[in-house]
Amino acid sequence: MKLRLTLGACLLLTLGACTETRFESPPGDRIEACDAGWKGLWVDASGNASKDEPDELAFLVDSECQFQMIERPEKDGPPKLIHVPLNFVHDRGKHYLVVADDQLSGVVKVDPVYGVDPVPEKSFYLARYELKGERMKIFGVDSTRAAHRILDKDLEGTIDSRKNDLHVFVQGDRARILEILRKYDLFEAKPGAEVRKVPLSLEDYERKRTARREAGKS
């Protein structure tokens, strides 16, 4: 599941699909259900933003800190909100997203962890984010880098590569996964998503978007 999904199709990932990394445990015991800095309406701020729709909706985090993926099944139709439970970990000045794969049921198809028997009841996708004011970058795990760490015996885990797919599973309890994040840089050098916050409610945004699109047709 690519992080692009979070921008209307999670994060993020960036979170996985043909190439993915999952973790046996979340990092550490200090896991939070909310980062207040996320509250608000976020739009795509990447260099790939559509010229026709530069303010493509990404996600909404409401006043109760509920994360809502935003999809637009029809270009001129209303947005569709899909709730995905996110958790946050803050450690030594770095910030991480944690998404349990069993929370994605009904949102996207998530296959069982590859190369592990017995299959764990659940595993976790991680991403790192940088939040500066009204802008945020989200970085997915570099699965190739994680796989090399397993091959080099730095990490315990499994690697499953078939066709052109790469599935990595990093093993360890909560303390070990946090230790891994502190010791090794497993994340992509470039963000999988860049978003910016807009000072509008979703309803106000939709009204302005509709007016803008109607003006463009005249």
Contact status, residue 193 vs residue 15, Cβ threshold 8 Å: no
User: In the chain, pLDDT over 70 holds for what percent of residues?
Assistant: 87
Residue 171 has pLDDT above 50, yes or no: yes
Residue type present at position 145: R
pTM of the model: 0.88
Burial zone of 209 (CB within 10 Å; 0-12 exposed, 13-18 middle, 19+ buried): middle
Residue 189 has pLDDT above 60, yes or no: yes
159 bridge partner residues: 168
Q: What is the pLDDT of residues 104-113, one digit of tens each?
A: 877 777 888 8
* φ, ψ dihedrals at 151, nearest 5°: -60, -35
188 bridge partner residues: none
